[in-house]
Amino acid sequence: MEIPENVKKRLSLPAEEYFYAGHTACQGCGAALGLRYVLKAYKNRAIFTIPACCSTIIAGAWPYLTFGAPLFQTAFETTGAVIGGIEAGLKAKGYKVKGEDGIMVVGWAGDGGTADIGLQALSGFLERDHDGLYIMYDNEAYMNTGIQRSSSTPKGAWTTNTPGGKKHFLEQKPKKKVIDIVIAHKPAYAATASIAFPEDFIRKLKKAQKIKGASFIQLFAPCPTGWRSPTDKSIELARLAVQTAYFPLFEYEGGKYKINMPSTKKEPKPLEEYLKLQGRFKYMTKEDIAALQEWVLREWEELKKKAEMFK
Amino acid sequence: MAESPFKEEIERVEKEYSEKMTPGAIVYIPGSSVINKTGSWRVFMPEFNRDKCVRCYLCYIYCPEPAIYLDEENYPVFDYDYCKGCGICANECPTKAIEMVREVK
């Protein structure tokens, strides 16, 4: 892909494209955009492993491949273990893994494959401290199989097995904080990122490449199909999630927390601005919304205290 | 009008592509998805007004396909072979230089 030199200077992202068009993601997919940024950052110097999730289909059903990089498709619960295996194999063959010009081993799993099914493999991967990167793209339900709830679904959301109404109920449990579970393992690097802030995301990817040891990034990726939102609002939703402090951007490195600029710029907006754009929250009562708002602000205060305590 | 960035890939894939089963179902051709023209999914198509464009590249940065590339004069070019018409570019454009119009086939 040829991009003129004068444009390259003004672009805030790497100009090379290793994520090819013609993939089968839905219109306005956040996960596809996330994959595009990861391939922009690592080019073809990365080996990917993807378990069963939407991205299996985006990366290509046989005989198609959307990537310009090698890809290993694996079983649902084994992403963490496969990253460790590929890393050990590369090292045994004498390749340089991680570091400035080393090969990156990237696991890319959804929130179901991370927070529910793949949790033990993720824990093992972090505990054994493999030189790899695990990216969890968070679209807050099992979207590939038809919008079933996962433990990452927020309280009050509609999904096909929490449909609401008189006989059934909406999602009852709050969102599982996978990033806190990860930080409890004391990894080399952990961070949250959003597709609405690609410069911040690519900076974190490059940082994860430099730091030796296990790294983890939780990426917020809206899903218009499952969230019942218009396809053109994906980026706006991801941005509002950060601005309302529903999904604050921060990084954890060597025992220190740092809240990143997009989250610290202004005071959090009211959560209702984020909720009203999505059809999955339209069954919530006023009390539900107030309770969710309180939960969001409490988590945000907790994070700010942690950042102050461990700086 | 600039050429599609995927022109070489499409030619390469069309030359090597075959539906013969490979051992272990391995895909040997990187980027072979370019053969799959997703532009037929589109209901609304982006219409670009060159005069309003300030060349901020936000449409290029946020396109999930990617179906937007840049020409020699730094203006965005839309690849209607792959654009699925999600409308993210029109929503994010700060000067409203992109408008979504219903496609007539």
| ipTM of the prediction | 0.92
Same domain, B31 and B45: no
Residue B95 belongs to domain spanning: 37-105
3-state secondary structure of A216: strand
| Of the listed ranges A268-277, A284-293, B13-22, the one predicted with least confidence | B13-22
Same domain, B32 and B80: no
Chain A residues inside the 8 Å CB shell of B69? 1, 3
3-state secondary structure of A138: strand
pLDDT tens sequence for chain B (105 residues): 456 777 777 888 888 777 788 888 888 888 888 888 898 999 999 999 999 999 888 999 999 988 998 887 888 999 899 999 999 999 999 999 999 999 887
User: Which domains can be identified in chain A, with CATH numbers?
Assistant: 5-309 (3.40.50.970)
Same domain, B73 and B83: yes
Kind and range of the H or E run holding B58: helix B58-62
Same domain, B41 and B67: yes
- The CA distance from A31 to A110, in Å, is 9
- Taking any CB pair shorter than 8 Å as contact, residues of chain A touching chain B are 1-4, 6-7, 10-13, 17, 19-25, 27-30, 32-33, 36, 44, 60, 62-69, 198, 224, 230-236
Same domain, B48 and B9: no
Same domain, B55 and B81: yes
First to last CA, chain A: 42
Please determine, for residue A1, whether its predicted confidence score (pLDDT) is greater than 60.
no
Alpha helices in chain A (DSSP H): 5-10, 30-42, 54-59, 79-92, 111, 119-128, 178-183, 198-210, 224-227, 234-243, 261-264, 272-275, 286-309
To the nearest whole angstrom, how far is the Cα of A100 from the nearest Cα of chain B? 24
Same domain, B85 and B100: yes
Closest CB to B61: pick one of A3, A6, A198: A198
- Residue entry with tokens 């069954």: A283
Are the beta carbons of B74 and A7 separated by less than 8 Å?
Answer: yes
Query: What's the domain count of chain B?
Result: 2
Same domain, B58 and B87: yes
Q: What is the mean pLDDT of residues A96-120?
A: 92
Same domain, B77 and B90: yes
DSSP A115: I
Please determine, for residue A3, whether its predicted confidence score (pLDDT) is greater than 70.
no
How many percent of chain A have pLDDT more than 70? Answer: 98
Residue A89: phi and psi, rounded to 5, are: -65, -45
Are the beta carbons of A23 and B67 separated by less than 8 Å?
Answer: no
In tens, the pLDDT along A19-30 reads: 999 899 999 999
Are the beta carbons of B74 and A6 separated by less than 8 Å?
Answer: yes
Q: What is the pLDDT of residue A93?
A: 95
Q: What is the pLDDT of residue A2?
A: 60
